[in-house]
Structure 1
Amino acid sequence: MSTPDPGQRITPLRETWRQLMTSARSRAPRLRASLIGLALAAIAQGLALACLMPLFQALIPSANWRAALPWLLAMTGLMLASTVIRWWAQGFDYRGDMVRNTHELRSELGAQLRRIPLEVLQDKRAGGVNATLLGNVDETLSYILTIANMMATALLTPLTVALAALWFDWRMGLVLLLVFPLLIPLYRWRRPAYGRGMRMLADAHERTSADILEYAQGLPVLRATCRTGEKAQRLQASLVHLEKIQTIGQKKGAKPNLILATVMELATLLVVLLGTLFVAQGSLDIAVLAALMVIVVRFGEPLATFVLYAKVIDLIEAALGKIDALLAIEPLPQQASPGMPGEFSIDFIGVEFAYAGQPQSILRGFSAQLPARRMSALVGPSGSGKTTVTRLLMRHADPQAGWVPIGGVDIRSLSPEQLNGLISVVFQDVYLFDDTILANIRMARPDASDEEVEAAARAAYCHEFITRLPEGYQTRVGDIGGRLSGGERQRISIARAMLKNAPIVVLDELTAALDTESEVAVQRAIDALVRERTVIVIAHRLSTIAAADQILVIDEGRVVESGQHAELLAANGRYARMWQAQQSVKHWRVGES
């Protein structure tokens, strides 16, 4: 027997209710009270409308105002009570509970992003995460009271009238009670299709959101390669897919929606026809029929569109599913802490690691000792595992076997804040936030004074170019630091690392894509950064790490050679061949065969 696809499974309404109350967090009692209030308001409205039957009996055929007045007052009081209760219930929106609730939920999702293993997060597209934090949160809560009010008015109010009609004429009351429950099987018939459609639509929106964000960030490359507009195939494919899903939903929903509306309209007409027949037979008071006709006309349209209102439940359920899926991702486990390390040597002991979904390990029995206050360089071909080593040190993920201690303390026993406080990272591809230069440097240590930030900038040899900018340290760097050159961004990143003053520094190859002048400036900044620190360098150009205290040659997830530059050249092994290959490239010229 095949297992149903979880993505196609229709969540029971009680489970949707539980998820909704969970998403309301601290304001769940207030939201629950508001929803109950809307139900009570709908019942009060139904009782008010039921007063039409004795009111019409008092006024038809001869107006007996003395008998009519109490019912008129009761109807007025009930309608007023319904309005007051509904207004109070919808205060969840008006008084700001909804806004505070969405803020609380987004804050929790933001905190979850900080806990999620970065290996898992890197598999998620930024636009998809953005859609969850913004769109799904709003879809979960922003519509709930509006839809609850519509559904209560379309269901509970007519049901209350039907129950009251039993008192005046049991036959008409029974007919009404048989008509209104038609909504339940009709709704159950259509809900699976609505649920699948809403999930497909939510996935299409998430995909399109991710592609739009990627398109906006990649416009310089897309323009350079003439892949904008209709030639941006990935974005165009997402837009076409979204259009297809929307079109399918409209086409497939048109006929069932027409059937639903027709059935409910015919059902209400049946009430009128039977009432007319009973009046003609003399067994039903015409005043009761007149009141029922007013009531049926009043609720004909809401009843016909009830199932359409219910579609939004599936939109809410799809959003709740995405929020729950993000919150369900478990953070990396933390062991009992023996305390912070007293010195900052780093060891990799028998490390085995494979990325999720990959059949082969990227690190295979990897072991290495990186001494404190020394520079260790990692070299090797692309895909050999150099970057994975540094990611495991920063605990983007945990190895499947082996362990990584700092100063003898397993990094799994350190909290994320403790571990991150020990390591400064400067990558080749620097990410700066669209904020001022001052803020981008200060984020390494938020309590740093302006003078301390400037001192770090001077030490990183970027104070001079900063002061030449129109607004100096208050100059905004643009999205991802796009207003600065590559060398300037890297020096800002180094200044950030210097301000942090962590005992361990991880450097990607920083000068590989720089011009000579920028390379000299960045190299001077690096020299200032690495003094008296444990340094790990991922090196692509071997000339930049010739002076390293230790060079580890990594291939296929293992250390195949280690030593200093001269020792490795003398060994005439893998490192020597890499060195010779890079030296020969220096003499290459365009046009040479």
Structure 2
Amino acid sequence: MSMVQPQITPLRETWRQLMTSARSRAPRLRACLIGLAVAAAAQGLALACLMPLFRALIPAPRWPAALPWLVVMTVLMLASILLRWWAQGFDYRGDMVQNTHELRTALGRQLRRIPLEQLQDKRAGEVNATLLGSVDENLSYLLTVANMMAHALITPVVVALAALWFDWRMGVLLLLVFPLLIPLYRWRRPAYGRGMRMLADAQERTSADILEYTQGLPVLRSACCTGEKAQQLQAGFLHLQAIQTIGQKKGTKPNLVLATVMELAILLVVLLGALFVIQGTLDVALLAALLVIAVRFSEPLATFVLYAKIIDLIEAALGKISALLAIAPLPMQALVPVPQRFDIRFEGVTFHYASAANPALRELNASLPARSLTALVGTSGSGKTTITRLLMRHADPQAGRITIGGVDIRAIAPETLNALISTVFQDVYLFDDTILANIRMARPDATDEEVQTAARAAHCHEFVTRLPEAYLTRVGDIGGRLSGGERQRISIARAMLKNAPIVILDEPTAALDTESEVAVQAAIDALVRERTVIVIAHRLSTIAAADQILVIEDGHVAEQGRHAALLARAGRYSAMWQAQQRAKNWHVGR
């Protein structure tokens, strides 16, 4: 199985990304990391005090000479502990929690700015993994790992520099051993980096698979595709297992080599020190002090590169966060006042999805008069939904322009444009909240009375009052506790409360039974009065009274006119109409 090898981010770039993600807490985080470095240096000086202290105690104790060094070592150790305690306060004093909150808030703002065309290409579970997992991985381990690495790098180097003062040979040997970590780390870092990125990608994919599996469980059960038969989910689990297994197998031998090299290097320093003592050129007290120091550093040095793996985990998380934040919003033209009329024009609009081979729209021209009902009909994939998405500015066309009241929608602030358009989709999405809250989303400042007035107009007040808690009844995940017709009427009530001058209807009655369709159609009739309405229609009988019908074919307007005129033309629309009329007479037989 071939995989694209991800690029390893330079440490300088990782530092920049880290400070950027720390946002308002960046100065505090920088100070804490510097504090950990100073604490590690203070500990190194404290350990270096063992060399003069042992000289004062071996072979015969000389307490007047030993006491000052004991006091200095104690003060330095206390200073190191206090500094480390203060620096790691970034975690337990609330800075880290505040930072992750700010970062998630920034990512939330970015989600509102991202072109929806690009967001629709991402699976919900992948976005969820970035917002939750990557943000937590960004800082949760940072101070702990930084503390370990500082004590594995800075503390030994400070001790080695101090050893130069007492015996230059031992100081040089220590300075040769301790910096050996750097080339060893650089040797293993690319492999660790690739492994962590592959693992992060696999976990993100698995998170998306689990979310998709959970949401689609009713369909999977009906298709007998649960458990081991859920092939996509099982494939994701196997992929994650393979990545973890590869990481364990490939990392075992190099990790043992690294640990062994560092242990042997420290042992070599001790053996050479013993040789110098035998030769009479090294004080035995100094060797004893170095033995204590070597024991103190052997484990941190041997496991340093393993600690550094977490840096690559943080780096992978930073990369995903940076990639999401780097998506540019749609460009804005110079803003103009809110349009005062609501006719819509598509002028030479050409649009090509990034992942598609052919354009979805080709030089489309259309004029939708204000306070009229325009129906879009055509085969699946002809471009009907793309027209409405471009009007709502989920993306911008590569050529041409779209205007409302003569104003290019690229010159209308996104919040203003959203306020001008209400949408009723075929597949209604309700949030797991109360009915009152789901309707009020359209206008958060609306009173309870205004919400109920919209509900009555949408013909849903009667069924809502029959529920156990009426308007305070929770609708369940995606509105699962309500029927399709009930969900649809709540979405229409939401649109009526919004009271936007432009309404988009995406075949809202297509999946309903006859009784629900009658109620929903009555609600729609109330919604569309005195508004500019666009209807995506599949059942042509529902739009026979439209002011104009646009037949969309291969991304352009193939036919245009009223129902009777299009039938008389005997073209594409007439053929579609005849086909649906024949389908009405079809029945199941034996």
Shorter-chain TM-score range: over 0.9
Aligned counterpart for 1:12 among listed residues 5, 10, 13: 10
Give 1:380's aligned residue.
Answer: 378
1:390 is aligned to 2:388:
yes
What amino acid does structure 1 have at the position aligned with 2:401? Answer: W
What amino acid does structure 2 have at the position aligned with 1:114? Answer: R
What secondary structure is seen at the aligned counterpart in 1 of 2:430?
A: coil
Question: How big is the shift at 1:6?
Answer: 8.6
What secondary structure is seen at the aligned counterpart in 2 of 1:107?
A: helix
Compared with structure 1, are the counterparts of its residues 7 and 442 closer, same or farther at alpha carbon in structure 2 (3 Å cutoff)?
farther
Question: How big is the shift at 1:357?
Answer: 2.5
Distance 1:162 1:569 in 2: 93
Question: How big is the shift at 1:439?
Answer: 0.4
Question: How big is the shift at 1:7?
Answer: 5.6
1:180 is aligned to 2:191:
no
Compared with structure 1, are the counterparts of its residues 325 and 6 closer, same or farther at alpha carbon in structure 2 (3 Å cutoff)?
farther
What secondary structure is seen at the aligned counterpart in 2 of 1:24?
A: helix
Distance 1:517 1:11 in 2: 60
Compare 5-14 and 243-252 and name the one that shifted more: 5-14
Equivalent pair of 1:377/1:548 in contact (CA under 8 Å): yes
Distance 2:312 2:356 in 1: 35
Give 1:78's aligned residue.
Answer: 76
Give 2:451's aligned residue.
Answer: 453
What amino acid does structure 2 have at the position aligned with 1:564? Answer: R
Aligned counterpart for 2:163 among listed residues 162, 165, 180: 165
**Where do 1:437-448 residues align within 5 Å?**
437-448=435-446
1:95 is aligned to 2:93:
yes
Q: Deviations over 1:222-265 (max 9, x none)?
A: 01111011100000000000000000000000000000000000
What amino acid does structure 2 have at the position aligned with 1:563? Answer: G
Give 2:566's aligned residue.
Answer: 568
Equivalent pair of 1:127/1:207 in contact (CA under 8 Å): yes
Give 2:228's aligned residue.
Answer: 230
Q: Give aligned pairs, total.
A: 588
Aligned counterpart for 1:292 among listed residues 290, 293, 299: 290
Q: Deviations over 1:486-528 (max 9, x none)?
A: 0000000000000000000000111111111100000000000
Give 1:264's aligned residue.
Answer: 262
Q: Deviations over 1:323-345 (max 9, x none)?
A: 11101101000001221111000
Distance 1:9 1:554 in 2: 45
1:219 is aligned to 2:220:
no
Distance 2:395 2:458 in 1: 31
Distance 2:580 2:509 in 1: 15
Distance 1:337 1:467 in 2: 44
Distance 2:559 2:589 in 1: 36
Distance 1:513 1:15 in 2: 52
Give 2:403's aligned residue.
Answer: 405
What secondary structure is seen at the aligned counterpart in 1 of 2:443?
A: coil
**Where do 1:74-153 residues align within 5 Å?**
74-153=72-151
Distance 2:10 2:18 in 1: 12
Q: Deviations over 1:83-141 (max 9, x none)?
A: 01101111111110000000001100110000000000000000000111111111111
What amino acid does structure 1 have at the position aligned with 2:251? Answer: G
Q: Deviations over 1:300-332 (max 9, x none)?
A: 000000000111111111111111110110100
Unaligned runs of 5+ in 2: none
1:371 is aligned to 2:369:
yes
Question: How big is the shift at 1:572?
Answer: 1.4
Distance 1:272 1:554 in 2: 84
Give 1:194's aligned residue.
Answer: 192
Distance 1:380 1:8 in 2: 44
Equivalent pair of 1:427/1:508 in contact (CA under 8 Å): yes
Distance 2:253 2:489 in 1: 63
Distance 1:589 1:576 in 2: 23
Give 1:250's aligned residue.
Answer: 248
What secondary structure is seen at the aligned counterpart in 1 of 2:56?
A: helix
Give 2:352's aligned residue.
Answer: 354
Unaligned runs of 5+ in 1: none
Q: TM-score, normalised by structure 1?
A: 0.98
Aligned counterpart for 2:575 among listed residues 574, 577, 585: 577
Q: Deviations over 1:358-404 (max 9, x none)?
A: 22111111000001001000001111100000000000000010000
Give 1:523's aligned residue.
Answer: 521
What amino acid does structure 1 have at the position aligned with 2:281? Answer: S
Aligned counterpart for 1:536 among listed residues 534, 537, 557: 534
Give 2:64's aligned residue.
Answer: 66
What amino acid does structure 1 have at the position aligned with 2:139? Answer: L
Distance 1:359 1:435 in 2: 41
Aligned counterpart for 1:500 among listed residues 498, 502, 507: 498
1:545 is aligned to 2:543:
yes
What secondary structure is seen at the aligned counterpart in 1 of 2:394?
A: coil
Question: How big is the shift at 1:181?
Answer: 1.0
Distance 1:140 1:267 in 2: 34
What amino acid does structure 1 have at the position aligned with 2:110? Answer: Q
Distance 2:346 2:506 in 1: 19
What amino acid does structure 2 have at the position aligned with 1:178? Answer: L
Question: How big is the shift at 1:10?
Answer: 1.1
Give 1:336's aligned residue.
Answer: 334
Equivalent pair of 1:23/1:105 in contact (CA under 8 Å): yes
Q: Deviations over 1:417-458 (max 9, x none)?
A: 010000000000000001000000000000000000000000
1:327 is aligned to 2:325:
yes
Question: How big is the shift at 1:591?
Answer: 2.1
What amino acid does structure 2 have at the position aligned with 1:13? Answer: L
1:479 is aligned to 2:477:
yes
Distance 1:8 1:505 in 2: 46
Distance 2:504 2:437 in 1: 22
Q: TM-score, normalised by structure 2?
A: 0.99
Equivalent pair of 1:211/1:235 in contact (CA under 8 Å): yes
Identity, % of aligned positions? 79
Aligned counterpart for 1:30 among listed residues 28, 40, 54: 28
What secondary structure is seen at the aligned counterpart in 1 of 2:426?
A: coil
Distance 1:335 1:168 in 2: 71
Equivalent pair of 1:553/1:575 in contact (CA under 8 Å): yes
What amino acid does structure 1 have at the position aligned with 2:96? Answer: M
Question: How big is the shift at 1:61?
Answer: 0.7
Equivalent pair of 1:7/1:199 in contact (CA under 8 Å): no
Distance 1:548 1:7 in 2: 56
1:314 is aligned to 2:316:
no
Equivalent pair of 1:34/1:90 in contact (CA under 8 Å): yes
What amino acid does structure 2 have at the position aligned with 1:487? Answer: G
What amino acid does structure 2 have at the position aligned with 1:341? Answer: P
What secondary structure is seen at the aligned counterpart in 1 of 2:281?
A: coil
Distance 2:4 2:237 in 1: 25
Q: Deviations over 1:198-226 (max 9, x none)?
A: 11001001100000000010000001111
What amino acid does structure 2 have at the position aligned with 1:533? Answer: R
Distance 2:578 2:557 in 1: 20
What amino acid does structure 2 have at the position aligned with 1:143? Answer: Y
Give 1:421's aligned residue.
Answer: 419
1:463 is aligned to 2:478:
no
1:559 is aligned to 2:544:
no
